[in-house]
Structure formats: structure tokens, C-alpha cells
Chains A and B, each alone.
Chain A
Amino acid sequence: MKRKLKVACLVLSMFILLTGCSTASKSVLDPKNPVSITLWHYYVGDNKIALETAVDQFNKGEGSEKGVVVTAVAKGSILELEKAVTDSAKGIINAEPMPDMFSTYPDKGLEIDQLGKLCDLNDYFSKDEQKLYITAFLNDGKYDGDRLLSIPIVKSTELLYVNATAWNEFAAATGVNEKNLTTWEGVYAAARAYYQWTDAQTPDTAWDGKSLMGIDSVANYIIIGNKQLGVEVIDGKNEKAVLNHADLRKLFDIYYGGMSLGYLNAVGKFRSDDIKASDLIAYVGSSSGAAYFPTWIEKDNTQSPIEFTALAYPCFAGGTPTAIVQGAGMSVTKSTPEKQEGAALFLKWFTAEEQNIPFAMTTGYLPVETGAYGNADYNASLKSLSSGDQAEKNVAAVYDIALNQIMDSNTYASTPFNGSYNVRSILETSLTTMAESGRQSAVALKEQGMTEDEIVTALDMNARFDEWLSSIRSQLDTLGISYSEE
């Protein structure tokens, strides 16, 4: 009887031992029972299509082998995406459930992480795997020293896009040359000259000149402008905003002045649209918009071909040439081990050179893995672009400038802190709002037939600048973000 009992115990313990062993498997994924991953992104147009194509490819290949199915959902612009994610993360009623992975900028990522929703990707990306990424890009996704909250997908920088056909005509007529466009002061002067030159073409009508220049991202303009002048507006180290009056004044004069007087303009959603509509002939914008720069513009309801010149991002006189480097990464939400591993698997696959290069090059992004830059395919693609049709040549020209900026390391990305996202939007909206009202005032003044000097005096730049500053201060105070003034 005892012996039967012993046998029973033995069988039981063996059973426990065996089942114990079988659970110690490495991956939690099961190809027979695939895990479904929802991805929210902000890509539109060709980027969206490229991402969806890549997702499709992943689902049929790697995903089907390992047991992961990704569904990509476009959430509109980055702003909308961020709002949707924030709402979901905060659990606001009627918000959609948190996606399993989503595009995120470093400063937004930090905010979501503070809600305890992000997964530390160090658990899924080994040190060796992390080494594949360009260190600076990967570091954008690191918080609190080591927590890896996002994986870079693609990066972009900003540069100066010029409708060469229009510019050349202007340059030939006025003697201004491209060198004037290397400094913001030069850009302002050229814009003023362009306005006056176009205004002069219709002598009957005063103040009907055309704008030369547009700025896609005013926030970047403020951040980079400050940086060029040696100030970090967003001081991630000390977790505060730094308001340097002298520098801000330079930025303010050019943007507010330019916008008010019509030397600078912003009509459509993006400045590339303004080029297409021939409202502008130059703008500073992201390299990722390279493909959007047209080969022709609409002129009198017909297509008018244009040529294109890409120039480096302008620098303030006496400043250090610096351009922004930016780009959303992707973060993985804390969910089930299966979903987390599935999301990480997709990110590894998607950021690998084979997928990352074609995706990046759809519109002018930069790949994120070090290896990509020496990759033969990448170089071949660049080469084929420069010998392709006009549109492709445009993109190739942008890559020339963008790669130069990246390689010369005169790029900058602010270090985020809790609230830095708000600082960025406060700076942008406060300035654009000021500029909008300045423009309206100026239009009214122009109609009164005032001269440029009269208008400027009437606008009272000092007062406007103070107004801007106090607007910034009050908004920062409201949000409780610390700042210092110099």
C-alpha cells in the first residue's frame, strides 16, 4: 500500500517537473494563436501607404511565422495622434482603448510614461540590438537615464527649400544671391527686397508685393534660433524654459516683422502648398517634406514647371549654424507579455535596414540604424534619385543638404522634460498669434497708405515684444512650468 503511495507521489512529482519545464520557453508568442497588435501612427499620404504596405508585408512574413498580426491605424496629424493617445492613457470616457504601440515624440512620450502606460523596451532590445541604432537617435527615447521608452523610426532635419525658377528671376533682376539666404538677417533682407521687387511690377497698386519666405515650424524656428545664439529655450537639464530677451527679440523682429509686413507668409496648411499655389518661393521645412516640393506650380489654372534648390537652414548672424533633428519614435504600451513582445518584434523588423531605408526614402526621412548610412542599397537609391525624374532629383537635393547637416553634427534636438511639450506649443502659438494680429494691423495700416517705417513705428515693436513675453509668461505660469529670464 505504501509502495503504491510512493509510486503515485513519484508520478505526480514527475508531472509537475515536466510541466514546469515546458513553461520555461523563451518566447511567449504562438504562431498558431497570433496576437493582434494595434499601431497608431500620424503618417499621411505616401508615408501612410508605405507603412501600411510594410505592415502587410510583416503580417504575411515575419508576423505569420512568429504569430503577430499588426493593424496600422492612421490617427491624422501628430497633434491628433497625441491627443488620442493622451485621452486613452488617461482613460477619458469615449476614448478608444490604448493602442499597443504608437508614434510618439520624446516629450510626449515622457508625458504618457508618467501615466505609467509605457513599457521599458530594454526588456526586449538587447544591448547589441540597441547598438545598431545611431546613439543620438536612440537616446531621444531614453528617460531617467536608462529607461528606453521609444525606438526611433525615422528622423528628419530642416532645410531651406527654394523655387529656383522664381528665385533666379528675382536674383537676376535685383542682384541678390543665394548667399543672402545663409543668415536669417539675410533672408529677411532678401524677403523685403523680393516684396519690393514684386510690388514694383505693378506700380499702380501699393503694397501688393509677394512674400518670399515661409516657416513650416515656428517652434523649431524659435528653438533653433535660440540654440544658434547659444541658448536652450527648452532646458531639459534644469527642467525649465529659458527666455533670453536679446535672442528672442532677434527672432521676434524677423518673424513678427516679416509676417506683419508680408515679407514672410503662411497661407496653406504647409508652406509647400504655398509654393504650389505660388504664394511663396522659399520656405524652411522638414526634409521629410522633400517629396511634397512640386516640380510645377499652378499658375493661371495651368501647370507651370519650376526648378528647385535646397539650401542649409539659415543661421542668425554671429550664431553657430545649427539645424533641428526630429522625428517620432514608437513606444510600446504596457499590456500583455504577448502583445509587448509582438510589438517589439515588429519594431525590430520595421527599423531594420531592409524596411527602414525604403520607408524613410518615401518622402525624405533619414534612416535610424547606423548601418543604413553605409548600406549599398541606400547609396544606390540616392544615386538613382539624383539621376531620376525632376521629383526624384528634388528629393536627392534635399538628402544632400540633410545628410550634410546630420554628418556635420550641427543638428540639435532639445532634451525634453515634463512640460517641455507645452513650452514648445506656447512658444509657437503665442508667436503665430501675435504675427497674425500684427499682419491684420499692418494690412489695415497699409490700406491707409503708410510707409514701411510708419507701419513699424505704429506697430510698436517693443511693446509687441513685451506683449509676447508676457503672453508666454502667463501661459507658463498657468501650466506651472518653471522658467528663467536672461
Chain B
Amino acid sequence: MKKTWTLRRQLNILLALIVIFQSIALIFALWFSQVYFMLDAEAVRLLSNTTETRAQTFDLSVGAMIGNMANETENLNSELVQLAQQNQKSPEDLYLDDDSYNQAALVASATLVSILKQNHVTGAYFILNGSNANKADTVAHSAVYIRNSTPDVSASTNYSLEIGPTAVSKEYHMPTSIRWNLDMRSDKEENYFDFYEKPIWASTQFKGSEMERFGYWSTPKDILNDNQQVVCYTMPVLDENGNGYGVIGIEIAMPYFSQHYLPDSDLLYHNSFYVISEMHDNALDLGWFIPSGVLAKTYLKSGEPLQLKAVKEGGIFETTLDELGTMYSSVQKLKVYSENSPFVDENWTLSCFVPSDVLTENSVSVREKVFYSIALTTVLAFTAVFVLVYFFTRKISRLSKYVRNLSPYDEIHFLPTGMREIDDLTSAVQLLNQSLMNVSKTTSKILELSLLPIGGYEVLDNNKHVILTDFLYKLLHIDQGSLISKDDWVLFYNKLTQYPIDDHDDIYEYYDEYAGKQLWLRILEAKQPTGSVGVILDVTADIEENRRLANELDYDALTHLFSNTALKREANRKIKEEPDKIGAMIFIDLDNLKYINDNFGHDMGDRLIIRASEIFRYFEQFKGIVSRISGDEFAVYLHGYEDQDELRKIIEKLYPYSKSFSFIRPNGTSNRIRFSSGVAWYPEDADNVIDLLKLSDFAMYEAKNKEKGRLFEFNRDYYQQMSYLLENREVINRLLDEQLIRFAFQPIVDLKTGEIIAYEALMRSLLNDFKNPMEILTVAAAQSKSAQLERMIILMAYQTVEENSQEIGDRKIFINSIPSQRLSEEDHLMLERHYRHIFKNIVIEVTEEENNNSNNMNEKIKFIRKSGIQIAVDDFGSGYSNELRILSLLPDIIKIDMELIQGIHSNSDKQNIVANLVEFCHNKGIKVVAEGIEETMDLVKIIEMDIDYAQGYYLGRPTFSFAKEDERLKKEILDLHKK
């Protein structure tokens, strides 16, 4: 598939590329046009101009000064010539006479003061050819030397007299200086006096020339020996013949020279400076130089020529200075001498030095700024591109977003984008959608008209929304056609399918909260490659019909309590809803229903049940499920508690509550309704309803057995011991109904003859549920079925005896009778009618029991005796029987319990008891049977003790057929008698 990009991205990339190309083009254009280097050239031109201007200014002011000096000098010359004439002397001799010297000094002072006033100089001097004070001294020269410490001020207030007579000081009110003197001396270092000698020499060379031609500039020197470097310009003082006899000059002190002639204010660039020096062959000859300031003094090395390299026309040079690095220098020749001056070779050159990096600073800074500007505008352009593209494409993006979020039920209303092509497209789509919607509506309508409460939905993987049919909108009470997102749908779906019902797949119980209606829905969903489709069918009517039928089974018709099945279902539901809570199953059994039924009839029994049910409805206030299981059995299930104690308190109040209910018997007596009950806990004892019922039933059973009319909680130990009682409860009914027992017969042997004189009929169950006959008896007793069991055993025994009468012959059959039970009168009559002929063969075994109903026993014995049936006392000596009771019964036979017999041969106590018993019985005419003979030694002993009969495995095991006599055994017994 071809890779697609959004319109926005394409536009962004396109416009960004344009911006980049434009920026690059700009950079190239600037590069090729060399704009920055024009700036450098401009800087150099500026430097050159400033230097040139400074040189011109200097030339002008020096020129003016020289002109002024020439005038003053010429005036002085004539004044002095005049003075000499007045004093009748030659000018050369003026110094020799005090008076004329003083006058000359005053005249010269006037000229000096005039020069000082008119020119920017720090001093002026007049030197004569000899000394007035030391006339003989050839190196001494009378002089007047006036300094002005404030050359920029025209007043003479700051003049001081360095050299000269006090007359001058007084005349001009001028202080004398510290080094004030009368003479100047020429005997200093070489060339010291050049400012005197050179102009006079020049005047001799070019006699008659203009004064300017003789002027001489001396290089910086400390003329007055006061650490002050000064530059001097001197002109000769000439007599009328043009012969020099003195000089007049000015001095410019170096600091003032810098300040006034080479001012810093001129300098355009920092770290730049001027210097005046001689220049030869492109090298500044720094033998002397006049610096403009501290930089020049610091970086220029006195005495070392500084080589310059010409770099451009117009006196631009390049050189290197230690710390300042590469320097540009603009050089201008100064005009300090006339062209015809003999000193014109001493060229004075003004150089202006600027560090090259300072000079090019501007262009560098402009380059940087241009670069940053380009970078910044590029960034701004990018931003503008993104913003504009965003706004331009926003309408289209919005449109596509709108379309993506459309539900098929929506009517489409595209917002106009203002772009014709796109708007045409959208209106076409709008039309198409309209027709599609119509189709969809038609389908929906058809479904609706079919009257089936059916709806459908479609969840598509690539769609954020779910498509529903009208039915579902109605079902979920959502506005028709509104958009349902997948997330919302999951919530709806979960709500719909929250309560699946147990008995039908795909059907869910759904409570329509909005309409307050209980609904049942069949929801079917099919997965498809692109998602899933589903159908939801309202099956409420069907389910309600089903439920109505089921409901009838749910309630007990008599009490309107829940039925057994309803109890189970509802209890199950509760447990399922809140599996973590505590619950209790209470099993209740009315204690005296049977009595009421028997004595007052079933109507009265039903009334008792109804009345009792009212008691148990006590639990309804605790949301208990109260049900009648069957007959007199009720079960209540309580659930949803946090702990047993809380629940136990509720349950225990049942008995006090029940005291207010009474039951009035037809005979007018008011009785309390008694019931026994058992409790089993959820989840401690069991976690399902079936087991809870079973265990609570067992607890009730225990109550019934141990203390009627009480509530017992389930006791697991006891249960494990007695569970069979419960488990075989139903089995015993079957056993009784279907008479599923048979008899095994164990021979009883006559110890005199060794012959079998009787068999004991031992009940055996045909069902495997009972391990031994004892269990059958216990279960039957527990189920109050002892009477039925007794009746069945007795009747079946009689029947068996009769059926086998031929085989039995005149041997006797011992039948075990249940001590507490007796047959009814009718049964007795029936027995007499049918089995009277076999009464002689029958021996009824009875057992003494602790809580024996002596009344029943007596009645029973009475009947047996009346019928001529013999009575045997079973298990004599086992604890229940005693001699007194035997006396009162007057049995025909006593069967000594195997407890006393087994091991008798070695136990003298047993021998004594048995011996006494035998003696007692024989005295009364009662035959004695020894039970449990299992070994020869015991047999030997009992024969020896004259016991009549014996029974036991040694003598014969119980079998389902009548065992034949064992000749070997017979012989053994007989042999024993012979001894």
C-alpha cells in the first residue's frame, strides 16, 4: 500500500523546505556579496580619515603658531636692535651691561608673554649669547624662561618664572619657580643645546631668508632638569645684519602635547593611540616619539624601530605589538617645517594605531547579528508555517474527525470549509448518507412491524461506536440514534448479562430500573472477523409463564411457607450472592405431632403444623427463608451475617418467642408447642445447602435424642460417630417397606447330647447400608420405626419358621424381640390365627434395657406367656439384666452373655458368677445357654459347670440354611461327659 501522509504534514514539510531554501539563499547571497568586508573597509577608511583630519588640525595649529612666532621674533629683533642702539651697544653685547640687560630681559619678557598668550604652549624662552650674572662663563647664557601651567587659559596668572631676573617676576607679578635661576647653561649632554645652536646655524646658512626657514623643532628632552620632557621650537634672534645672537622659543610639555595636540577624544576605537615620530623606510624610528597617552608609552619601545607593513593605499599599515596583537596603523606626514627648511628631513609622522580586532569588531558583530537574525527569522518562519498550516488544515481535520465519529443513525451535517472542492464532496456524501439511512430505517421498521421483541447490535473492531437497532435503544432507554461508544456498550452489555439464570443458557434476568419491570432476555452473540453481532430477544413472557408454574411448587400448600426445593434454591442464591457472609441452617422437628395425629386426628395435626409455622415465621424479619420440609420438619436458612454470635443470639430467641404460642387441644387443654432443633453453620460446617440441611438435621436429631425441645448446634465429633443414623434414615423405610431382611440361623447345641436343639434367627439386611443388625435397630429406634421393625421381624420370623417347619422339625427358633416394642392387639390376633401351630417352636428373646418401658415389657411378656411361647432372656450378665428382673420375668431360658463366658476356663470370678447363676436357674427350672463359645477350653468348662446349652462360632456359625449336626462336635461333647 502506498504510504499516505496527512495534508497537514505535507504542507508543513513543503513550507518548511521553502523557508530553509530561502535562508540558505540569503546566507549565500550575503557571502558572495562580501557585505561584511565592506564594513571592514569602511572602518579602515574611517581610521584613515580621522588620522588625516588630526594631521591637518595639527599642521594648521602648528603652522599658525610658527607664523605667530615668526612675527613676534621679528618684532623682538627690531626692538632689541633699537634698544641696543639706545644704549649705544651692539645687540650682541646687550648682556654685558646690567641695565641694558634688564631692559632687554623686560622687552623679551613682553614678547614671551605675548607668545604664551597667543599660542597653546607650556612655556616660552629667550636666550642670549652670554651671561649677565657670570660674564666670564662661556657656557652660561642669560635667559628669560617663563612657563605657563595653564596654556588653555589666556590669563597670565599661572605663569612662573623659571629663569630670569626678579625684575621680570615683579613686572608680571609672576612667581619664581623652585629652580629659579638667572642663567641657562649649555654644558649638558650632547645635543642638549641644539634648540639654541641649530636655528642660529640655519640663519647663517640662509641669511636673509624668511624667519620660518630657520625655525627648529627639538625632540623631547628635559630642558630645565626638572623631569619634564618638553618639545621646543626655536627661532633665532637676529641683529640688523641677520646674525644670530640669541634665540626665542616655545616649549610644549609632553603631557600637554598629548592632551592638546593628540587628544584621546579623537580616537574612535578603544585601545587605539597616536604617536608622533620619525619614519624611514616603512619603519617608525622610535629614537624619540611623542605618545598620545599611556598605551603608546606602554607598548612602544623607545629606541627600537617599529617595522610597518603597508597593506593598503593611503598610508594604512599593519604591525604587531606585544599584548595588543595585530595593529592597523594609519600614517600621515606632519608639516612642521617649511619645505625649504634645512631640517625638513627630520620628518615628523603621525601614526594612529588600532588593534585589528577592534577595528573589525563592528563587522564581526554585524556578521553575528545577521547570523542570529537569519536563525531567528527561520525559527519564526517555521513557527508561522506550523501555525498557519494548522489553521488552514483544521477545517479539513475537523471534517474527517466528524465523519469518523459519525453514527450510522446520525443525520450528517457537514460544516462548510470554505473550500469549494471539499464542500462539493461533503454535500455529495451527505446525499449518499441520506439514502443509506433510509434503507437502514426501512429494515428497522420491518423488524418492528414483525412484532417480535427483538433487537440487534453490531460491534466493529475498527469503529469506536456500536450500532444498535431501535429496539435496543428502547430497551436501554437511550435516545434514539445517539452514539454509543464501545466503552459504554461494555457497561450496558455487562448490565444486561449480569444475572444469568441457572436453568437456561443465554437467558439473563434483567431489571429495567427505568420502567421498574423485571425482564428476561435471551442474548445471543456471534463473533465475526470484523467484530461481533448480537441479537437480544425479550423472553419475559415465556419465563414468567414458566415461573408461575414453578412458583406453585415453591410453596407449601398448608403453611404457605417455602417448599423444600424453594428453600434449597433460595438459600443457594443467598450463598452465591454473598459467599463471604455467615449463615445458619436451622432444622426443626415438632416433638409431638405424631402424638396429636394419633390421638386427635390429622386435622388437629395440620392445625398444629400451621400454628408451629407461625412461630417459625419469626425468622422472616431476619430475612430468613422459612420452609416446611415435610410433615413435622421445618428448615430455616438465615444468611448475610458477619459473625456467628450475632446470628446465634437471633436464633436463641426462638424458644423464648415460641412460649407465647400455644396450641389448644380439642379437649380444651392449652399446650405449648414443643420442637427440637439443630443448627449448622455456613460456611464453618458446610458450604452448600444440601449438606447444611443434612448436618442441621443431624444436630436436631442429637437434640431429639439427648434433650427434646432444645436447640443443638451441629457437633462434628458426634456426627462422625453417628452419621449412619442419619444416612440410613431413608434406607430404613425402604428396608421396612420392602421387607429387605432375611434371617441367618446359628445353632444352639444341647451340651448333654451334643445335638442341635435350636437355632437363633439373626436378622440380616439385604441392603449394604447397614453394617450389622445393631445399626438397623438403632436407626429404626432413631426414626421411631422400632415398632414397625419389631412387627416386621416378628412376622417374617414366624413366616420363615413356618416355611421351614419341615426342616426345623421340633427344634426351636430363638427370635430376638426389640425390648421396648410390642405388637398391637390386632397383630397378636393375627399371629394366633396364622401361626398358632408353630408357637411351640418359638422362643422370644428379650433384653433388659435401662430405660425400659416396663409397662410395654410386661404387656409383651403377658402375651407371650398367654400364647405358650417360651421366653429367653438375652445377654444376661451384660449389665442391663439382673437377677431381680429375671425373677420378675420368670423366663424359660437364660442366655448368659458371652462376656461372662469367653475365657471362663481361666477366670475363677466368671466361674463363680456363672456357677451361682446356673445353680439359681436350675433351682427355678430355667435352662441356661452359654453364648460366645469360641474355643474348646471354654466348652470343656461350661460342660463341667452343667450348663444346658451353648452357642458360638466353635459350635456353629450363623448360616442362611439350617446347619446340620456336626458329628465330630457331638462326639467331642459326649466324650467330655465321659470324663
Contacts and interface: CB of A to CB of B under 8 A. Distances in A.
Interface of A: 32-34, 36, 44-46, 48-49, 52-53, 56, 59-60, 63-64, 69, 71-77, 80, 267-270, 272-273, 276-277, 291-292, 294, 298, 300-303, 363
B298 interface: yes
A44 B160 contact: yes
B878 to A, nearest CB: 97
Contacts of A272: 175-176
Nearest to A41: B149
B396 to A, nearest CB: 20
A76 B169 contact: no
Contact of A291 (B153, B158, B178, B264): B178
Contacts of A69: 264, 293-294
Contact of B173 (A49, A72, A268, A294): A268
B175 A46 contact: no
A71 B178 contact: no
B547 interface: no
Nearest to B227: A49
Contacts of A270: 175
A85 to B, nearest CB: 14
B178 A46 contact: yes
B760 to A, nearest CB: 101
Given A77-B158, A80-B157, A302-B133, A268 B169 contact: yes
B834 interface: no
A164 B255 CA distance: 39
Contacts of A34: 270
A69 B297 CA distance: 12
B166 A277 contact: yes
B150 A75 contact: yes
Interface string B600-642: 0000000000000000000000000000000000000000000
Contacts of A73: 259
Interface in B280-301: 293-294, 297-298
17 contacts: A33-B270, A44-B149, A45-B160, A46-B177, A46-B178, A46-B179, A49-B226, A52-B255, A59-B293, A59-B294, A80-B150, A267-B170, A268-B173, A273-B166, A276-B180, A294-B176, A294-B180
Chain B interface size band reads 35 or more
A77 B298 CA distance: 31
A71 B150 CA distance: 14
B497 interface: no
A71 B259 CA distance: 8
B173 A53 contact: no
B249 interface: no
Contact of A77 (B157, B166, B259, B270): B157
B158 A269 contact: no
Contacts of A273: 166, 169-170, 175-176
A32 B323 CA distance: 11
A476 to B, nearest CB: 27
A56 B226 contact: no
B158 A72 contact: no
A214 B149 CA distance: 26
A269 B165 CA distance: 15
B297 A276 contact: no
B128 interface: no
A36 B132 CA distance: 48
Given A69-B294, A75-B150, A298-B166, 18 more contacts: A45-B177, A60-B294, A63-B294, A69-B293, A71-B259, A74-B149, A77-B158, A80-B150, A80-B157, A268-B169, A269-B175, A272-B175, A276-B176, A301-B102, A301-B165, A301-B182, A303-B133, A363-B178
A80 B150 CA distance: 10
B293 to A, nearest CB: 7
A60 B175 CA distance: 33
Interface string B2-35: 0000000000000000000000000000000000
B259 to A, nearest CB: 6
Contacts of B98: 300-301
Contact of B174 (A80, A269, A294, A301): A269
A272 B169 CA distance: 12
Contact of B182 (A76, A277, A303): A303
B228 interface: yes
A76 B227 contact: no
B237 to A, nearest CB: 20
Interface in B133-189: 133, 147, 149-150, 153, 155, 157-158, 160, 165-166, 169-170, 173-180, 182
Nearest to B297: A60
A220 to B, nearest CB: 18
Nearest to B271: A32
B358 to A, nearest CB: 10
A290 to B, nearest CB: 10
A267 B174 CA distance: 10
Contacts of B259: 71, 73
A49 B157 CA distance: 18
B568 to A, nearest CB: 62
A49 B228 contact: yes
Contacts of B153: 76, 80
B133 to A, nearest CB: 5
Contact of B158 (A59, A64, A76, A363): A76
Q: Which 9 A-B pairs have the closest CB atoms?
A: A59-B294, A277-B166, A76-B158, A76-B150, A269-B175, A74-B149, A301-B98, A44-B149, A291-B178
A142 B166 CA distance: 42
A165 to B, nearest CB: 17
Nearest to B142: A301
Name which of A44, A73, A363 has the most chain B CB atoms within 10 A of its CB: A44
A298 B182 contact: yes
Contacts of A64: 294, 298
A298 B165 CA distance: 8
B729 to A, nearest CB: 77
Contacts of A302: 133, 182
Given A49-B227, A60-B294, A292 B178 contact: yes
Nearest to A277: B166
Nearest to A51: B255
A268 B255 contact: no
B675 interface: no
Interface string B752-779: 0000000000000000000000000000
A69 B102 CA distance: 45
B113 to A, nearest CB: 15
A52 B228 CA distance: 9
A64 B296 CA distance: 12
Contacts of A303: 133, 182
Contacts of B174: 268-269
A36 B271 CA distance: 12
Contacts of B149: 44-45, 48, 74, 76
B101 interface: yes
A63 B297 CA distance: 13
A45 B147 CA distance: 9
Interface string B121-132: 000000000001
A49 B178 CA distance: 12
A53 B254 CA distance: 11
Contacts of A300: 98
B182 A80 contact: no
Nearest to A59: B294
B227 A53 contact: yes
A301 B132 contact: yes
A64 B299 CA distance: 12
Contacts of A63: 294
B178 A36 contact: no
Contacts of B228: 49
Contact of A301 (B133, B150, B227, B293): B133
A274 B81 CA distance: 32
A75 B170 CA distance: 23
A167 to B, nearest CB: 20
A59 B255 CA distance: 13
A108 to B, nearest CB: 18
Interface string B445-471: 000000000000000000000000000
